[in-house]
Amino acid sequence: MNPIENMQQVLEQLQQSGNLRSLPSVVYDGRWVTNAEGVRMLNLASNDYLGLANELSLREEFLSEMTPAAFEPTSSSSRLLTGNKTAFVDLENQLAQMFQTEAALTFNSGYHVNTGLLPAVADANTVILADKLVHASLIDGIRLSAAKAVRYKHNDYAQLERLLRQYAPNASQIIIVTESVFSMDGDVADLPLLVQLKKQYDNVLLYVDEAHAFGVRGAQGLGYAEETGTMGDIDFLVGTFGKAAASAGAYWVGKRIIKDFLVNRMRTFIFTTALPPMCAQWTGFMLRHFPAFAERRQKLAELTSALSRGLEAKGYPALSQSHIVPLMVGDSKEAVRLAQCLQRKGFYVMPVRPPTVPEGTSRIRISLTADVMLSEVEAFLSNVPMASEVMKGGGR
């Protein structure tokens, strides 16, 4: 069999299992999407959690401050060559001040952070202890590193504590890796407990990915670490601008010495052309508005509570503690069928299937945004069948 025939066979197997993916063909119009058949649907699959990407008044305000001279659509180089534009320096100073840390560093994407940071700081004498459900980008970063890696059961801190006792005496360093708000189940890590465990050892560092918490959690929208009062105790506190902040790129905040180390060792930072400076300017503009978005964060919390209660009343497992709410199905084909059914009824939701989630835990991942109305959540719930009608394979 030649390579192309092998690819075809793999695609056919994915089709048979209900796990074949394709790029969606839709037109976006604010919080609505229209598919190729002309069906207009409420977008319940976006990571624009605060609804800022559709806020024209913010764009108008930003553009009113922009001049042709200030508008830089390209960096043309990496930060270490000629791409270290003033916009990046200003944004990093702004982040350090917001997080009350010594330093900050920005990146082209969350994937760049998670695939580059761990290989930069971990050597063959490092042990990485990662939550079983961390994002694929973190898994890739772990694989690219020279460290020994052990995955502990999701949010099982008793197991994590046993692993720390086992590996701490002989490892040069241990890095605990977790998300704060988990991207598929919408539940949260116990950050205060993780900090407590970390402080029991001199050679343990803590890595927390706030991709789905930044902008949404905390009094100033800085994330779940802000909400739990743990920001200053996390060595690698990272997050993205491409979700609630309605921009592009990602960040790390922490100690100055770590920043200097990453600038010298992190390949995904060193060997890439920097983002357009205008992206950094837009991000800085949005961050200045973060305190004013408290009402949006509160509304999002209220919508989440209503959706979670409604799904639980229909018999679905109550996993979520955030604005990401999984409607657990189990079987991949059934998840696809249910998503298509809900789309026909005017709700744009997407099925999440293996390998993104474990076998038997396919689900509809509902991402609420602050521009959704409570009446629309209620309408969606009225179209969701009882769990007993759809769940096959049961979920986790």
Which among 58, 56, 28 is positioned nearest to 282, based on CA atoms?
58
Could you give the angle at which helices 256-265 and 110-121 cross, rounded to 10 degrees? 90
pTM, to two decimals: 0.93
Rg over alpha carbons for the chain, rounded to the nearest Å, is 22
pLDDT for res 388: 87
Please report where in the chains the tokens 């998670």 appear, as a residue.
114
Please report where in the chains the tokens 């609630």 appear, as a residue.
244
Residue extent(s) of CATH 3.90.1150.10 domains in the chain: 3-55+293-390
Please report where in the chains the tokens 């084909």 appear, as a residue.
333
pLDDT for res 228: 98
Where in the sequence numbering do the catalytic residues fall? 47, 135, 179, 183, 209, 212, 243
* Per-block mean pLDDT, blocks of 10 residues, the chain (396 long): 92 89 88 91 96 95 92 95 97 98 98 98 98 97 98 98 97 98 95 98 98 97 98 98 98 98 98 97 97 96 96 92 94 92 95 89 94 96 91 48
Residue extent(s) of CATH 3.40.640.10 domains in the chain: 65-291
Name the CATH superfamily, with its identifier, for domain 3-55+293-390. Aspartate Aminotransferase, domain 1 (3.90.1150.10)
CATH number of the 65-291 domain: 3.40.640.10
Strands (E), 58-210: 103-107, 126-131, 148-152, 173-179, 204-209
DSSP annotation of 372 reads S
d(CA 287, CA 98): 9
